[in-house]
Amino acid sequence: MNFRLSISLSLAALLLAAGISGASAQSAKELYGNDIYWNATPNDVNNLLKSMKTEVDANFQMDARRMSEVSPDPEQNPVLFRSGHYNFSYTPEQREKLRKYLLDGGMIIYNTGLGSQPFYNSVVRELKEIFPEQPLQRLTSDHPIFHSYYDVDKVQYTQAVRQAGFRGDEPWIEAVEINCRVVALVSRWCMAVGWQGIVQEDWQAYQPDSAFRIGVNILNYASSMRAWAKNAAQAMKFADKLKAYSDSVSMAQVVYDGIWKTRHAGLPVMLQTFNARTGIPVKFALKELRLSDAGIYDSPVLYMTGHEHFELSSEDKASLKKYIENGGLLFAESCCGRKGFDAAFKAMITSIFPSKKLERIPLDSILFKEPNEIKAVGVTEGLMQESGGKARTEPALFGMDFGGHYGVIYSPFGLAGGWEMSQSPYARGVNDSGALHLGQNILMYSLTN
């Protein structure tokens, strides 16, 4: 693999623009500005890239640019890297530029110099300004970044990390994800000194081998996601928000504390295809509601999804219990087939209905009959590898029965990416046609049962 990395020189601490596009990838490292330690480890990225060329057969180059020279077009600098020790802030113009760049397919990596709390706090604050609608969240162990090249479930830290109060041995990486893609990544502990190869126990950092493996995985993930990001961007433009029809039936997406909206176009696309497929005059309108909102009782279907662990309050659980027991349908899916959401959802629904079981829905169920006869579905490459290379498999939907009808229907494998016709390359999910057919059948079931 040959990638050209360009390091960008900027006025605001360390910014590495690592670009990955086709046979070339650029990476950029930003000049210091106010943070005199922006380049405290001048050979960090170079060492990582040299090691990748030797051990991973990936050839990266890099250059340096000022922030003003970083293009908002990700094709020019697909990945940016920034490191530092002190507080910093972007101007409103820089925030707007970064937001456009990231939404158009770019990615930025933040490294806390020696675990700097001021720098970390600044990153958290700035990302909240740039993406107020999508919070920063810690990635769980099944995230593709931890498995894109090496399996990095456990890492080694310096003693200073332990002294800072962190006792775990898993990597501490946080991210903002948009449409199943990491656009901004934050390493709570320093990776750069590990890449440099000089680590002291009083520095809050990863040990060199762990830092290298994480670095390789991050850049490998970025390269894999580049071409896909273009398709996802097109899918985003495919569907506008559904209009509110006077004769519509509303479908409400559940808003909860955490990343509750993983895909922005998938659900509208699926709702539109349902009407086209069935010819039923009922049109679905789409709402976004918290479980505490009385409006959920006007919606025959609640849709819930996510990537990572989440928890509902006792009040939200009580409201959801009442909704389901009064005939409502909760339709949930683990976006991209992520295990963090899967475990959290199963624990949540079991805590609400401890006397019931979430069981696999048999293939002869009416759910798989209308409007599509579904006997098998295609799966993504990630799921195919888990199933011994089978490209098609029986649909895996799980239900909770309430007096002869399902009040809960759950897919542990991703569907929304298929609705957008743009499954992530790392997704454990159902392919496009299979995902649309399952979604349409679930909507039909909600209307007829």
Q: What is the pLDDT of residue 48?
A: 84
Domain range 239-448, CATH class = alpha beta
Mean pLDDT, residues 316-332 taken together: 96
Please tell me the CATH superfamily of domain 27-234, with its number: Domain of unknown function DUF4159 (3.40.50.12140)
Rounded to whole angstroms, how far apart are CA atoms 385 and 296? 39
Q: What is the pLDDT of residue 231?
A: 60
Give residue-wise pLDDT tens across range 50-74. Answer: 777 777 766 666 767 777 888 888 8
Rounded to whole angstroms, how far apart are CA atoms 319 and 63? 55
Mean pLDDT, residues 139-152 taken together: 92
In which residue ranges of the chain is CATH 3.40.50.12140 found?
Answer: 27-234, 239-448
Give residue-wise pLDDT tens across range 281-294. Answer: 666 778 899 999 99
Which pTM does this prediction carry?
A: 0.79
Mean pLDDT, residues 343-364 taken together: 96
